């Protein structure tokens, strides 16, 4: 094989490699935590303030998996109050598993999520709620089996 053929083979291999990299980059799925992450970043001070308020409560938010489902329990101070908010099950590696539920507590401050509502995986559960104009925020890690 002469030097001209070697040069031609080198260019063909280089071109094929570049085409493969372009193909891979076009078909790569890039997931963002949130679509409007810039807006949520501007409101992050509210999350910090809510976390500080939640840390000042008598006990932390509890979330656990039982046979009946996933149980969320707010601290004692939140019992028998008119609370509104939401619970976000955030899966960092697969946004199709993300679930957001409205906070619908019993008078005892407990909410049970059905086991079929949340698929198996590792989640960061983000709980945000408000009571009497004060906002609270808490994050817990949960492995759903």
Q: What is the pLDDT of residues 65-119, one digit of tens each?
A: 988 899 999 998 888 888 899 999 999 888 889 999 999 998 888 999 998 889 9
Residue 29 located in a structural domain: no
Residue 46 located in a structural domain: yes
Residue 26 located in a structural domain: no
The dihedral over CA atoms of 91, 92, 96, 100, expressed in degrees to the nearest 10, equals: 50
Residue-range definition of the domain harbouring residue 55:
37-144
Residue 12 located in a structural domain: no
Residue 14 located in a structural domain: no
Whether the model pTM is above 0.85: no
The enclosing domain of 102 has a CATH number of 2.60.40.10
Tally of domains in the chain: 1
Given a contact cutoff of 8 angstroms between Cβ atoms, the answer to whether 117 and 98 are in contact is no
- What value does the mean pLDDT of the chain take? 90
């Amino acid at each position: 094989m002469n030097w001209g053929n070697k040069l031609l083979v080198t260019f063909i291999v280089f071109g094929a490699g570049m085409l493969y990299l372009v193909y891979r980059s076009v078909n790569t799925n890039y997931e963002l935590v949130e679509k409007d992450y810039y807006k949520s970043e501007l409101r992050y001070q509210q999350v910090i303030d809510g976390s500080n308020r939640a840390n000042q409560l008598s006990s932390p938010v509890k979330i656990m998996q039982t046979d009946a489902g996933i149980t969320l329990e707010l601290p004692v101070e939140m019992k028998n109050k008119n609370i509104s908010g939401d619970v976000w099950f955030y899966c960092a590696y697969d946004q199709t598993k993300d679930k957001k539920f409205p906070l619908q507590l019993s008078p005892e401050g407990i909410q049970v999520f059905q086991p079929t509502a949340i698929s198996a995986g590792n989640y960061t559960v983000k709980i945000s709620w408000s009571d009497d104009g004060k906002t609270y925020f808490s994050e817990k890690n949960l492995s759903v089996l």
